[in-house]
Structures are given as C-alpha cells and as structure tokens.
Amino acid sequence: MTQRITMEDIARQSGVSLATVSLVLRDKPGINDDTRRRVLDIARDLGYRKRLNHEKLVSQSLHNAGVIVKASLGDDSPLTNPFYAPIVAGIEAACRKMHINLMYATVPVDMENHPQETPRLLSEDHLDGVLVVGAFADATITKLLQREGIPTVLVDGYSHEHIYDSVVSDNFRGAYDAVSYLISNGHRHIGIIGTTKEAYPSLAERRKGYIQALNDHGIHEQYFGDCLLTLHEGSDTTSILLQRHPQITALFCANDMMAIGATQAARALQRQIPHDVSIIGFDNIDLAQHVAPALTTMHIDKVSMGRIAVQLLANRAEYPEQAPATVSLRPRLIERQSVQRLQPPK
C-alpha cells in the first residue's frame, strides 16, 4: 500500500513551515517565486494529491469541511442531542450560505470527552477544514491535524495545546450570573449538581462560577453534588444532597438534564419545586420550557456557536498564520417558574 503524502512531508523536504506549504498549495500571495516553485516541484515529485490547475496545485480556501461530533457511550445520535443538534444546525446553515460542502463523522468519547479513536474523516484527501464539536482535541488528534495541515476550529471543545481557534460559551460568567440570581431571590443555602473537581473544562468553569458567586456575596456554605452528567446520576446525587443538607433551598445544576433529574429527586422526597426547593439549569435545551414547572435556566445561543465556528474556519483557511482566536458567547438568564423568591425572616 502506497504511503499517503502529507503537507508535513512537503514542508520537511522543502525546508519551509507547514503554513508556507499551505499558502503555496492554495495559491495564496506572500510567498516568493523561488520558494513557491520549490514547494510545488517537491509536492509533485512526492506525488502529493491535490487539485491541479494549469501546472499549479491550487484550491480555494474552504470547499469541503468536515464536522466531527462527540458521541458519548449510550447517547442518542449527536444530531438529536439537545445541546449539539442546534450547533450542527448552525454549522449547516452557514455552510449552505457559503457554498461549503459538509461531511459528518462522530467520534466516541469517554466520560471526560477524550476521543477513544481517531476519526477516519481526518484522512480525507479533499478536506479543507474541520470542526471538532464537543470533544477534547488530545495529543493524538492534534498530531494528526498538524501533520495534515488541516485548519481546525473547536466548538465547545478544548485542548491542552491552546493552538486552535475555538467557539465556547462563557461558562464561568453564566454560572456566576445563575447563582447570583438565586442569591438575589433570597437564597443562601445553594447546592450545585453535576460537576467534579476534574470535570471537562466547560463544567469546571461552571463550578468555579458557583464558588466565586457565593464568595463575592459573603456566603461560606457550599454544597457539592459531584456526579457525572447523566439523568440517573443527577437524580441520585440530588436525593443524597438534599437528605444530607435539608437546609438547602436552591440548586444550581450544571445543565438542564441535571436540573430535570434534580426535580424528580426533590419530588420523590416530597419537596415541591419551587416552593420547597428552587432549581436553575444551564443550556436552555428545548425540553426546559416543557417540563413542569418550566425550568429557569441560562440560555446558550447554540445555533450562533455553529455559525461563528464556520466563519472562524473560513478565516483560518484564508489566513493560516494568524494567531488563534477564541469567541466566547455570554449566556443569558431565562426566567420561568422553577425559582421562588424567599421572604426575609420577620
């Protein structure tokens, strides 16, 4: 089997950077003629496969994009996931508007969202860019992306390398605002459901926002219901936390599914929402407005996350040497019926 030639091979043989190879192969300005000719000659000699036009290896910046969406064990299809489906819808809408062909793949992840295998989509010859949705870009994937020279944007995704463009929500500020809202409604004994000390970065930021809001308001009691993000675990953890600390009057939940599980657990303990326990969620998935009582939550503009990610990818493909950029969308409060104002003691 013939070994596939990559842009990394061309860069090594040419003695130039990956970014320079990328600019040459896409027929971009800013490269002197001798360097351009040397890179093209070496690419041709090595048998690099790319679109050819009048003896030149060229391509428009972004014709074909891949989207790789995390698939947790036991989850439904990512395209029906209440958080990631709107992101993918935003990606699709932006790609249609920009006439970009879109290819899909899923990658199985562990409970910390680390990929368990390398997506085969990354080996496609005609891939001009990739969007990684909800997964951690670990060392293996990073090495492959760099070797192939594929422009990449993380969407609700993270990496230790800090070399990627990314679109995230401002999880710290959203959590801070959610807990501050509970405090403004008279709550002082506020628990948190659905994070751990070693949680995925978005959840870790929500945990930090919870702690900071309590500290800034002079509240020293903190009640942690550490658990994984499953409805069953959220319900069980809430039950344990409320029985262990009956003084809790409000819960901040790391996402809306945790909030729904917390509501079920409170009811099983004969504690009514919001009269006995107020609950606020995070994400504003569609289901949040249909549960009873309708869930107060922090809204994340998930469709915009997808649209912005495509714009970042197109920009990265056009200007591969620019500094990495992160777009952070601030969540906003959606008030419904699951939080009650406490009356001050007489």
Average pLDDT per run of 10 along the chain, which is 346 residues long?
68 85 76 86 77 37 86 65 92 93 84 73 78 83 75 91 92 98 98 91 96 98 92 94 98 96 96 97 96 97 97 90 93 98 74
Residues 23 and 20: their CA atoms lie apart, in Å, by 5
Residues 246 and 228: their CA atoms lie apart, in Å, by 22
* CB neighbours of residue 92 within 10 Å: 18
Q: What is the value of pTM for the model shown?
A: 0.80
Q: What is the pLDDT of residue 58?
A: 33
Do the bridges between strand 56-57 and strand 101-109 make them parallel or antiparallel, or are there none, so unpaired? unpaired
Q: Domain check: are 184 and 107 in the same one?
A: no
Q: What is the pLDDT of residue 32?
A: 86
Q: Domain check: are 272 and 177 in the same one?
A: yes
Q: What is the pLDDT of residue 254?
A: 96
Q: Domain check: are 213 and 117 in the same one?
A: no
Q: What is the pLDDT of residue 225?
A: 96
- Which amino acid is present at 76? D
Q: Cα separations (Å) of 235 from 13, 232, 270, 304?
A: 58, 5, 14, 31
Domain at 206, CATH number: 3.40.50.2300
Q: Domain check: are 225 and 260 in the same one?
A: yes
For 158-218, list the strands marked E by DSSP: 165-169, 190-193
Residue that is written with structure tokens 């958080």 in the block: 83
Q: Is residue 344 part of a domain?
A: no
Q: Domain check: are 256 and 176 in the same one?
A: yes
Dihedral angle at the C-alpha atoms of 334, 337, 341, 343, nearest 10 degrees?
A: 170
Q: In what order do the strands lie in the sheet with 223-225?
A: 223-225, 190-193, 250-253, 278-280
HSE-up of 9 (CA within 13 Å, CB side)? 13
Q: What is the pLDDT of residue 345?
A: 58
Beta bridge partners of 192: 224, 252
Residues 151 and 49: their CA atoms lie apart, in Å, by 18
Q: Domain check: are 175 and 164 in the same one?
A: no
Q: Is residue 342 part of a domain?
A: no
Q: Domain check: are 68 and 151 in the same one?
A: yes
Total domains in the fold of the chain: 3
> DSSP letter at 133?
E
Q: Is residue 41 part of a domain?
A: yes
Instruction: Provide the domain limits for residue 165.
Output: 64-169+303-330
